[in-house]
Amino acid sequence: MAFEAQFTGPPLAESLLGDGEDIGRATDPSALLHHRPAVIAFVGMAFEANIAAGPGVLVLSRDSRRELTAAAKDAARLGYRGIISFGVAGGLASDLRPGDWVVASAIVTSDKTHATDLAWSNRLRDAIAGANYAPIIGVDIPVAEPTTKRALHQTTGAAAVDMESHVVARIAAAHGLAFTALRVIVDPADRTIPPAALLGMGSGPRADGAAVLRELIARPAQLRRLVRVALDAYLARYAMQRARRLLGPHFGLTDPRVPELLQSSANQDDLSQADAASYRSPA
C-alpha cells in the first residue's frame, strides 16, 4: 500500500538532534486514498511524520488541515474508517515522564469531550506495554508553564496535552470516522519549556532555527534548559520509533471495516455535524 507524509520544513527536536530523512509532499490526498491506505495519521511535526509513515497510512501534518478534511471526507466515502492523532505531548499528570505513552480514552476540547474508539484504543494498549489510558486535551497554543499544566489537569482530568488531537476529534465526528490518539510525553508536568523552544515551534511542522538562535544569543541562560528539551525529545523519539514498529501496518487497525471498530455516533460524546474546519489554527 502506498503511504505519504505531508510537511514543509526541522522541528526543534530535529534542529537539536538531527534527522536527515525527508518524505515527499503529498499534493492530492484524495488521490492517495485510491492506493487504499486504511488509516489517516495526523501529526504536528516533521519528525513525527517520518515515524508515522508506513503501509496503509496517509500522514498529514498540522499545516495540512484543509487536506485533512478533504481526506477524511473521501475516506468515509471509500469505506476507510480510521484516523489517529500521533506524536508527542506535554505531560499534565505528575507521574508521567518523557518517553511514557498515553492512549487517549477521550479527547477534551474547549466545549466537549469526545470518546475515542474503544476497540482500537484497546489494541494500542495491548501493543504498547505500560501505556497509560487517560483523557488528552487538545489546545491551539503550546502549554509551557507548570502552573498552567497543573490547572489543566485539575480542571479537566486530562493526563496530557497536544495541539492536534482536538482537530482529529472534530473532523472524525463530522465524517463518521473511528478515531483515537496515541501520544508520547516529551515535556513532563513539572518542566517549563524555554522561550527559545517555543519560538521554534511555530504553527508549521518545522522549527524556525534562526529564531531559536536569535533567542539564545539574546538570552544564553536558556541553553541548559534547551539541552534538557533535546534530551527529552530524544527519549520521546526513541519511544515513538519502537512503538511504531510494534503497531505495524494501519496503526493496529487491521481491518477498519470490522463492525467492532465502527463506533456509531450514539457511542461518542462528539460535536454536532458542524463545519469540521471551524477550528483555530495553532499559534
For the ranges 18-22, 62-66, 192-196, 242-246, the one whose mean pLDDT is highest? 242-246
CATH number of the structural domain spanning residue 198:
3.40.50.1580
Q: Is position 129 within any domain?
A: yes
pLDDT tens sequence across 11-20: 333 433 334 3
Number of H helices, E strands in the chain: 10, 8
pLDDT tens sequence across 96-108: 999 999 999 999 9
| Residue 85 in this model has a pLDDT that exceeds 90 | yes
Q: How many CA within 13 A on the CB side of residue 223?
A: 8
Q: How confident is the model at residue 258 (pLDDT cuts 50, 70, 90)?
A: very low
Whole-number pLDDT of residue 82: 87
Q: Is position 269 within any domain?
A: no
Contacts of 220 (CB under 8 A, 6+ apart): none
Look at the block and give the residue holding cell 489546545: 139
Q: Is position 6 within any domain?
A: no
pLDDT tens sequence across 140-177: 988 989 999 999 999 999 999 999 999 999 999 988 89
Q: Is position 126 within any domain?
A: yes
8 A C-beta contact, residue 250 and residue 120: no
Look at the chain and report how many structural domains it folds into. Answer: 1
| Residue 36 in this model has a pLDDT that exceeds 50 | yes
8 A C-beta contact, residue 5 and residue 29: no
Whole-number pLDDT of residue 179: 94
**In a 10 Å sphere around its CB, with 0-12 CB exposed, 13-18 middle and 19+ buried, how is residue 242 labelled?**
middle
- Alpha carbons 232 and 132: distance in angstroms, whole number: 18
Q: Is position 268 within any domain?
A: no
Q: Residue 111 has which C-alpha cell?
A: 466545549
Whole-number pLDDT of residue 102: 98
Q: Is position 208 within any domain?
A: yes
pLDDT tens sequence across 86-140: 999 999 999 999 999 999 999 999 889 999 999 999 999 999 999 999 999 999 9
Q: How confident is the model at residue 197 (pLDDT cuts 50, 70, 90)?
A: low
Q: Is position 75 within any domain?
A: yes
| Residue 190 in this model has a pLDDT that exceeds 50 | yes
Domain that holds residue 227: 12-262
| Phi, psi (degrees; rounded to nearest 5) at 132 | -80, 145
Whole-number pLDDT of residue 84: 96
Q: Residue 200 has which C-alpha cell?
A: 521554534
